[in-house]
Amino acid sequence: MNTYPHEYESSLQQPQKFWQQQAQRLHWFTEPTEILRPRADGTADWFVDGELNMAFCALDYHVDNGRADQTALIYDSPVTGQKQAYTYRQLRDEVARFAGLLKKQHVKKGDRVIIYMPMIPQAAIAMLACARLGAVHSVVFGGFAANELAIRIDDAEPKLLITASCGIEVDKVIPYKPLVDKALELAAKPPQHVLVWQREQCQAELQLPRDCDWQQALAGVTPAECATMQATDPLYILYTSGTTGKPKGVVRDTGGYATALLYSMRTVYGIQPGQVMFVASDVGWVVGHSYIVYGPLLAGATTILYEGKPVRTPDAGAFWRVCEDYQVNVLFSAPTAFRAIKKEDPQAQLLKHYNLSHLQRIYMAGERLDPATLQWTQGVTGKPVYDHWWQTESGWPICANPVGIAEYPVKPGSSTLPVPGYDVRILATDGSELGANEQGAVAIKLPLPPGCLTSIWRNEARFNAGYLREYAGFYSSGDGGYKDDDGYVYIMGRTDDVINVAGHRLSTGEMEEVLAMDPAVAECAVIAVADDLKGQVPLGLVIVKDGVDIAPEDLSQRLIQRVRDEIGAVACLRQVHVVSKLPKTRSGKILRRLLRQLADGEPQLYVPSTIDDPGCVAELQQQLGR
């Protein structure tokens, strides 16, 4: 039965009644009676007087209600050859013990804890243990360099940092401890203590008394009970790149997030208790928070934590092998992953070795899903493939095919329909609403549904300026797109200067700051250019200072290495062109749209009348070889 129209309408017309019904599916210590409290800025707080604990809802509740011996989490690591499974009871006990260790380290409700770890079970255990105590965790992706970690440390001001001795990138061991040590040197407000999980592939040198061995410190620890949390208490801070170069700490609450995730597991993914969800992402990103750790466990499902790649660990059949081994029902990853599989195994020969009979659906998100990738994946697997759109800020899908309540025809290039709770509009620059097939800014009418960001950590002004100021009464997504005649939403790309590399949002402004620090660079720009594999990759353009004598090739390599050292390999900056001019307006603003068109070799260029030097366009075309 198609209940989508009714649910969607109800969520917008009677949001308090609708979300109160959804919240009743959670276990609350104190049921909420004040469902929505409006704020002066048009946003709202949800379930204000409700009390609960995220870790209890995700673990203890299932242990107490018949799922104690069901598998909760599966760890599969092709890079180490290790596999491990935790039942709900085992995972609850591990989390309670580690929460006890955090308590012994004087971590209490409201304290921040930085987690800088690879894709191992201890990363999820650390997150859930923080939730159990009421500490606010901030997971930093393990691919970030020391400087990026230091910036996040200074913003969050954590009491404790949790790390592992190393990560493993395909067949390369990457020691984490030297990066952590460097970050703590750079940080103005370093934490007092560091907990280190020692991996056999690399033993970290500990700096006593600051550093502590996780395994040794657990001896004799008393397991911690769950703290009682207000629904509006922060669960975590997750940093996302901003256009200014300074990362934004997205703050997520507890009760609204838990409610929204549980609703999305049924509505968007069609996951039932006991089913298996394989999300090939990283706990350092929002996808990992929502659909590797919290969402599946809230739903009583089994989640897979995969330490590997879609290819080269060992081959392009890796995802299919995991799906067969664990009888996966839902697979979710970024389009980049499937493009990589397609590149290495275009005829899907490796797929023939695996049984995907349990696999029901494949999901992609994190960047625009191009029709070719959707059609290839659907063709070789014979499974339905769904694009869906959401953001770090939203925490859960904004637009999707709501298969749990209705299944709509897939239209390549579209993320289908707004999910109940999201009033999605397409706006012109003056804030007026556009009609069907008219492209504009994608915005969401306030208030946002539960689960979305509540603020930017300690920066309410940036929250308002970045999301609420552009269109009065709306959340500005920063993405452009349109709706077709059937109401399907098409997301066409960012309207700001954030680049989306394989689903990882990175600031071009941040990369420009690094390039500009080089003594040979007079001026620079970093833009996003199309890439068959990653969707987008950064391209650097630099003007050399007068009198500097350096070969362009040497400078290019030096700048690429500088970005790698400062931001990390995740930036994927592999091309830097030395140019003589950059196109600008008369006021001095770099024309980035024109640069992107030039770099992508578009035949029809949009050269605005405000350009200061029209002759530089032909010169740049020649220098870029376009």
The CA distance from 193 to 258, in Å, is 30
Sequence-distant (≥ 6) Cβ neighbours of residue 591 within 8 angstroms: 583, 584, 585, 608, 611
Q: What percent of the chain has pLDDT over 70?
A: 95
Least confident stretch, 412-416, 423-427, 501-505:
501-505
Quick one: average pLDDT of 511-521?
A: 86
Q: Express each pLDDT in 290-323 by its tens digit.
A: 999 999 999 999 999 999 999 999 999 999 999 9
Quick one: average pLDDT of 140-154?
A: 91
Q: What is the pLDDT of residue 35?
A: 98
The enclosing H or E element of 102 equals: helix 88-104
Quick one: average pLDDT of 274-281?
A: 98
Q: How many CB atoms lie within 10 A of CB 261?
A: 27
Which residues on neighbouring strands pair with residue 279, listed in sequence order? 332
Q: What is the pLDDT of residue 513?
A: 76
Q: What is the pLDDT of residue 267?
A: 98
pLDDT at 14 over 90: yes
Q: Express each pLDDT in 132-146 by its tens digit.
A: 999 999 999 987 889
If phi > 0 it is left, if psi is from -120 to 50 it is alpha, else beta; for residue 223 that is beta
Q: Which residue has the higher pLDDT, 331 or 244?
A: 331
Calculate the average pLDDT of the chain.
Answer: 92
Q: What percent of the chain has pLDDT over 90?
A: 74
Phi, psi of 249 (to 5 degrees): -90, 95
Q: Express each pLDDT in 248-272 by its tens digit.
A: 999 999 999 999 999 999 999 999 9
Quick one: average pLDDT of 506-513?
A: 74
pLDDT at 232 over 70: yes
Q: What is the pLDDT of residue 245?
A: 59
State the DSSP string of 384-436: -EEE-B--TTTSS-SEE--TTT------TT---EEPTT--EEEE-TTSPBP-T
pLDDT at 400 over 90: yes
pLDDT at 610 over 70: no
Quick one: average pLDDT of 574-591?
A: 78
- Is residue 370 very low, low, confident or very high in pLDDT (cuts 50, 70, 90)? confident
- Is residue 626 very low, low, confident or very high in pLDDT (cuts 50, 70, 90)? low
Omega before residue 371 within 30° of 0, cis:
no
Tell me the C-alpha to C-alpha distance, in Å, between residue 40 and each of 242, 422, 468: 25, 20, 12
Least confident stretch, 39-43, 108-112, 463-467, 567-571:
567-571
The CA distance from 207 to 161, in Å, is 13
Quick one: average pLDDT of 354-365?
A: 98
- Is residue 488 very low, low, confident or very high in pLDDT (cuts 50, 70, 90)? very high
pLDDT at 609 over 60: no
Quick one: average pLDDT of 63-91?
A: 98
pLDDT at 73 over 90: yes
Are the C-beta atoms of residues 237 and 251 closer than 8 Å to each other?
Answer: yes
pLDDT at 244 over 60: no
pLDDT at 508 over 80: no
- Is residue 583 very low, low, confident or very high in pLDDT (cuts 50, 70, 90)? confident
Q: What is the pLDDT of residue 540?
A: 93
Phi, psi of 16 (to 5 degrees): -65, -45
- Tell me, yes or no, if the pTM score tops 0.85: yes
Sequence-distant (≥ 6) Cβ neighbours of residue 27 within 8 angstroms: 52, 56, 57, 61
E strands of 135-273, at which residues? 136-139, 160-164, 166-169, 172-175, 193-197, 211-213, 229-230, 234-240, 248-253
Q: Which residue has the higher pLDDT, 52 or 147?
A: 52
Domains of the chain, CATH where assigned: 498-623 (3.30.300.30)
Q: What is the pLDDT of residue 589?
A: 65
